[in-house]
Structure 1
């Protein structure tokens, strides 16, 4: 009986194509891109939150400066016997509260307005001790600094770089004439307390603007509408308050403006 021999051929080993390695590299690269995107998004969100928080702190500081300026104006009228204002401010507590040791005071009578304006008008900056004449020319004076290029042309008297206004003796600091405190602990505002440099912390300026009815047209603000609600002013002046607060970051600055009139009750 013939024998049968079966022959089996060995399979040839297949060459590796490297597909698995390529897939792994692709997934690693995608993971790296996702991680990079997530980190950049997180950093951007952190910057946005940080900038917004700094702006809010500066905004609160500017609001406090406006209120302090109002109190500064009201403190001109106080009871000589008690030394206190209607707001309870003690003008004899020491320091320069109620402008006790300042030559520049807010007018208590209409006849004092002209003398005050003439004094301020003689200053190069048209301001002194936080009191100014009505500003002419550009109203956004905080945008004009020594770094502004090109230098504006046609500048009006008193239009000076912000650095000349935000300085001691020209602008006023928080609490300088009211004795207001910066707060303590978590309620303290670090911006108001920062006086390490002129471009830190906050300042305010108060423009004195004479007011009259239509029969006194020599004044700056005139009421020409006969049926308009009349202002019962202590003196015939309206005040424009400009408060500026620098944030903790160099690029943060908040400016608030308010028109304020001290009114009296009718007899």
Structure 2
């Protein structure tokens, strides 16, 4: 075999090896990127699940706040009456025991939950445990901050019983309480909002009927 032909074969082999190295490098980089994307996705899913659980916990806390039982020294069960919502404030701007209580909006206006400020330094929403004495669990899955909620008084268009309509007279007006809760993940940017309606058929024990 001539030296010229041998040199050509070695040159061709070198090109093949370089191509294989390039392909292997590209595949390695792609695999690393895919792994990072999967890890980020799994982390986001976990963070969203933490935020969802926090929002659910806030709904449960709000239910105790509105319906009881609530043995906290700060409980405000008497403020929640289906016939008297004078404690509820326009724009959710209450303070003290009126914190987070949103008066019914005018017809055609946006509901309070769409414009409420759920930031930690805003007194128009209630932090978890404020009126129940509960504390939100902390640990490896601790949230960025405690979940919060507001309670809106919403005029009831019907009774709690099936097929029973409510009287349209002003004297018979009654209300249900719409709770909107927000939960946060391990990052403040991860947020989940949940909502429920609470019906309180009778006053809490010790409250005016």
Q: Which range, TM-score by smaller chain?
A: 0.7 to 0.9
Root mean square deviation of aligned Cα: 3.1
* Greater Rg by CA: 1
1:223 to 116, 136, 158: 158
Q: Deviations over 1:43-66 (max 9, x none)?
A: 000010000000000000000000
Deviation at 1:245, TM superposition (A): 1.6
Q: Which runs of 5+ in 2 are unaligned?
A: 167-172, 203-209
Residue in 2 aligned with 1:14? Answer: 4
2:144 corresponds to 1:208: no
C-alpha separation in 1, matches of 2:162 and 2:23: 73
C-alpha separation in 2, matches of 1:13 and 1:227: 98
Higher helix share: 2
2:101 to 121, 131, 137: 131
C-alpha separation in 1, matches of 2:33 and 2:39: 10
| DSSP-derived class of the 2:87 partner | helix
C-alpha separation in 2, matches of 1:204 and 1:229: 30
| DSSP-derived class of the 2:4 partner | coil
Residue in 2 aligned with 1:175? Answer: 129
Equivalences, count? 186
So what's the TM-score if we normalise by structure 1? Answer: 0.60
Deviation at 1:250, TM superposition (A): 3.9
- Change over 3 Å in CA distance of 1:45–1:241 after alignment to 2: same
1:202–1:243: 8 Å Cα contact kept in structure 2?
A: yes
Deviation at 1:130, TM superposition (A): 1.3
2:70 corresponds to 1:116: no
Deviation at 1:227, TM superposition (A): 7.2
C-alpha separation in 2, matches of 1:48 and 1:140: 33
So what's the TM-score if we normalise by structure 2? Answer: 0.75
Q: Deviations over 1:193-240 (max 9, x none)?
A: x5xxxxx4321000012xxxxxxxxxx33339x971469xxx932000
Q: Which runs of 5+ in 1 are unaligned?
A: 1-10, 76-86, 143-158, 195-199, 210-219
